[in-house]
Structure 1
Amino acid sequence: MYRILNYLFVILSLLIIIRSGHAQETKTVASEGVAAIQQGHVDIARDAALEDAQKRAVEQAIGIMIDSQTQVENYQLISDKILSQIKGYITRYNITGENQDSGLLRVRITAEVSMGKLNDDLSAIGILMSQMHKPRTMVMIAEQNIGGDLYAWWTDRDGETDLSVVENSFMDKFTEKGFEFIDHETASKEIRVTKAYRTDLNASQAKTLGKQADAEVVIIGKAVAKSYGEVAGGMKSVQADLSAKAVRTDTGQVIAATTTHAAGVHITDISAGTEALKKVGNLAAEDLMTKILAVYSKEVGSTRPVAITINGLTKTQFVKFKDVLRNQVRGIKDLHERSFSGTTAKISVDSKTSAQQLSDELLLRDFGTFSVDVVGSTANSLELKVMPK
């Protein structure tokens, strides 16, 4: 009975790919399209005005995801690659009004725009990554195939720095969307690994190692292949399990995580394991990349968290700093005080601008009896120092 159940489990594992499902996010927008009525042909004008309204709906959705300057700079690219296929982004629409005005027909609609597909296509032409200042990514996923030890290139085992099957799958998938990677051979010379930094890295360790290699994001995780016996014809069956997460090195924030599984079949255990690891790597890369891009898209179109550390200030100066930040700095939507100890304060803000733009704003503001100087900055953090006037 056990052998039958095990056989059924193996067959099912070969037929079913387990992965997280993601609902396609949509955004409802209202727009108006206009077309000229030529020789009294209202029906032709209506079709043209409706198409114009749909185009304007997609343009509005693009405006939610990227700023106006980026739209202008990439107008031709967006026009050629996105606006030329607007029907692929609109899942449904309703005509809410129509009227004629001086030989023009105006059609008003509400349309549901597929933000997920729009995000994918903007990413595919490199616009989203450009908006995020092309964060550099490093992959640190430990891997164990059948009959082998758990291998990680950063542990410097006999000088080996080869990427694993899973890491190669990640880099292939992410590169297609415009991600830039830290070369692992270069990184192996930069990072300093102790016994504590072995194969099961946590977010804090990823933050430390990523900073040493000048990476903005580190993908950490572990992939393990396990044998599930034989299937018909003596073929070997193996299942690979993978868990991974993406960590920002400036703040230590985990921005995405995934857990996936996949099966492989081959005449040898090792080959079946390699096949399973490659499959699970592709699945996990797709899932994690979708989640990372969703975070990037939200931050570009809405707000992003910026961590601010201010040194050398009193409590009174800290109160003044927060007041100026809330009321005189553009793009600040919310402020969260994290700590104040001695002469150091830590806060985080939800900002519609990047940390670099925020630092420029702060240098121009009047804090009364003191000013602030920027000691350091990353894409998501600022370190400031209070200077007396």
Structure 2
Amino acid sequence: MHRVWKIFSVLGAVTLLSPCPAQAEADPIPTIVVSAEGLADPNYYRDQSIAYDEALRDAKGQAVEKAVGCFVSSRTVVENYALVSDRLISKSDGLIKSVFKVVNGGVQADGFYHVWIKAEIFAKPLSESLNQLSGKERSFLIKERGNPVVSVGILVESPESGERQECHTCNTEISSALMHFGYRVISDKKALEEKEARIKMMVSQGYPGQLASTFIRKMSDISVMGMVNLRKSPKINLAGIDVQTTLLTAWSLEAVDNHTSQIIFARNFQPPRGVMYNNEDEAVLKVGKQIGEVFSKDLFKSYIMRPSHEILMIVSGFEDRSLAKMLKKELIGVRAVLNVNFKEFLAGGETVFDVEFAGGREHFSNIVEDAVLGPLNRKFGKDAFHITEEHGDILRIAFDSSNLRQPFEEVLEEGAPLQLVADAPPERLREVVKSEELKQKVVKANPDAGKALMDL
């Protein structure tokens, strides 16, 4: 019941939808471009034209499912597949703005009828429905996207001395706004202290200091930093009393992803002219509240709810580029993969792919392991693929062809499609696999599919 509430609340907020004509003209709805693979069982649909129609229909449904995966986790989609299918996938024609590429693959060596498409899907992201989300829904979505820890460290420049010091009031107000929105927050001072403690521990174990400093990152996922500039107004004598006010001249804010060093938010705020405060505390309190409110929402839109993330995936161990092209076709069928571009085949057998994955950067290597490498290794019957390096937006994967029971091309071409070897929901398997021949092929690579297909 808890998971059903999650998917209902998320689908209600994400709202993949077809716009009415008036709305489309006045306020164009954002779209997501995805590549998808559709399958049909030609042994069941004896007429090849019907098999093509079914594979094309399936490809459209998979495109919509991938778009849904941009806003909720793949596991949530799998566990609530019947609901997602009924609410969205079955209505794919009304949710697709256009299909601008169709490749009719016909019956491939794996026995399935294949159709590949590239489509533009209507999507009204959660970031545009922010005001309609409850605190409970926001907290759920933040957790779904990695539940990042945010450290806050704002400085203020003293109008008298010009010295920069920690702005406790700003940090408290910003932290309060972030926590109220649903984020986990620690102080920047604590994050740095924990980092230094871990570096010292590594050094005490014999590691060089420079290596330890490079290896240990700051103990938060996102660092919020900024500067508040204040100055004093000229003194004015009123009824024999010198009066001086504090002017807020400017403040800046920057947020950095500590995993990649990418700046994910940067803005300079200019206060209205002529606004004065009785003292510094009143000025920085105002700053903290305003920054906290703006930043909480902008971070949610630009970082938490990014619909996709592009990475450079480098695979070593392929003998020729034809194998890389075969792998690209397999990747298109994976739910978490929105688009794949075969970029380069380098000397020494390194193949470079640009891969656009659904969702954000958090736990990315786990997604690759679960959605791509795990199914590939099950298909090959051994751990042929493994991650060797992960740095920023670059992921290196090694392919070991030794001791394969079948040649690489035979496994990819004749084995069950990767999307059915991965965590395909039982309903999805029953939709696609109709004949005993293809049932046996899928169960061989994915034994868990046997239970779902036993009633065929």
TM-score by length of 1: 0.53
2:386 maps to 1:373: yes
Name 2:293's counterpart in structure 1.
Answer: 286
- Cα shift at 1:279: 1.4
**8 Å contact kept, 2:127–2:305:** no
Letter in 1 for 2:220: A
In structure 2, the partner of 1:222 is 227
Structure 2 CA distance for aligned equivalents of residues 147 and 323 of structure 1: 62
Letter aligned with residue 384 of structure 2: S
Q: Report the secondary structure of 1:213's partner residue.
A: coil
Distance 1:167 1:184 in 2: 9
Q: What is the Cα deviation at residue 377 of structure 1? A: 6.1
**Contact 2:69 2:335 survives alignment (8 Å):** no
Map 1:36-75 to 2 at 5 A. Answer: 65-66=71-72
Deviations 1:115-158 (A, max 9, x none): 43456425665112111120111223332122244436xxxxxx
Give the partner amino acid of 1:167: N
TM-align CA RMSD: 4.8
Q: Are positions 1:250 and 2:256 aligned together?
A: no
Kindly tell me: are residues 353 and 277 of structure 1, through their superposed partners in 2, closer, same or farther at Cα, counting changes over 3 Å?
Answer: closer
Residue aligning to 1:126: 139
Q: Distance in 2 between matches of 1:258 and 1:247?
A: 12
Given residue 249 of structure 1, which amino acid in structure 2 is its aligned partner? N
Distance 2:78 2:333 in 1: 28
Match runs of 1:159-238 below 5 Å:
164-191=168-195, 212-230=217-235, 233=238, 234-238=243-247
Helix, strand or coil at the partner of 2:233 = strand
For 1:295, the equivalent position in structure 2 comes to 302
How far apart are residue 242 of structure 1 and its match?
Answer: 1.3
CA distance in 1, matches of 2:390, 2:355: 14
Task: State the partner residue of 2:106.
Answer: none
User: In structure 2, how many angstroms separate the alpha carbons of the residues matched to 1:168 and 1:251?
Assistant: 26
Task: Give 3-state SS (helix, strand or coil) of 2:301's partner.
Answer: helix
Q: Give the partner amino acid of 1:273.
A: E
Aligned with 1:265 (options 254, 277, 287): 277
Measured after TM superposition, the shift of residue 244 of structure 1 is 1.3
Q: For residue 290 of structure 1, what is the amino acid of its counterpart?
A: K
For residues 353-378 of structure 1, give each alpha carbon's deviation from its aligned partner in whole angstroms, at most 9, with x where no partner exists.
56222321222216989932134669
Alignment correspondent of 1:305:
309
Which of 349, 357, 367 is equivalent to 1:351? 357
AA of the residue aligned to 2:286: K
Q: Distance in 1 between matches of 2:181 and 2:340?
A: 33
Residues 73 and 388 from structure 1, CA distance in 2 versus in 1: closer, same or farther, beyond 3 angstroms? Answer: closer
Q: Residues 209 and 328 (structure 1 numbering): CA distance in 2 closer, same or farther, change over 3 Å?
A: same
Higher RCO, 1 vs 2 (CA within 8 Å, ≥6 residues apart): 2
Question: How far apart are the structure 2 equivalents of 1:309 and 1:71?
Answer: 25
Residue 362 of structure 1 aligns with an amino acid whose one-letter code is V
What SS does structure 2 have at the residue aligned with 1:223? strand
Change (3 A) 1:65 1:329: closer
- Taking structure 1 as reference, are residues 141 and 312 closer, same or farther at Cα in structure 2, changes over 3 Å only? farther
Residues 150/168 of structure 1: CA separation in 2 closer, same or farther (3 Å cut): farther
Q: Secondary structure at the match of 2:384?
A: strand
Structure 2 distance, partners of 1:128, 1:214, is: 22
- 3-state SS of the aligned residue for 2:134? helix
What is the letter of the counterpart of residue 252 of structure 1?
Answer: S
CA distance in 2, matches of 1:71, 1:252: 31
Q: Distance in 2 between matches of 1:163 and 1:340?
A: 52
Contact 2:217 2:259 in 1 (8 A): no
Say if 1:336 and 1:348, in contact at 8 Å, map to a contact too: yes
* In 2: Cα distance, 1:274 partner to 1:318 partner: 66
Change (3 A) 1:216 1:114: closer
Decide whether the 8 Å contact of 1:247 with 1:255 is kept in 2.
yes
Counterparts of 1:63 and 1:320, CA distance in 2: 25
Instruction: State which of 324, 328, 338 in structure 2 corresponds to 1:323.
Output: 328
Identity fraction in percent:
14
Q: Deviations over 1:38-89 (max 9, x none)?
A: xxxxxxxxxxxxxxxxxxxxxxxx9985469659999xxxxxxxxxxxxxxx
Unaligned runs of at least 5 residues, structure 2 = 1-12, 20-67, 81-123, 197-212, 403-456
Letter in 2 for 1:219: V
Letter in 2 for 1:166: C
Give the residue type in structure 1 aligned to 2:277: V
Structure having the higher strand fraction is 1
Which residue type is aligned with residue 357 of structure 1?
I
Q: 1:132 to 1:273 in 2, by over 3 A?
A: same
- Aligned to 2:176, what secondary structure does the other structure show? helix
Q: Does 1:151 align with 2:164?
A: yes
User: Closer, same or farther in 2 for the Cα pair 1:298/1:114, shift >3 Å?
Assistant: closer
Paired amino acid for 1:349: V
- Partners in 2 of 1:336 and 1:216 — Cα distance? 29
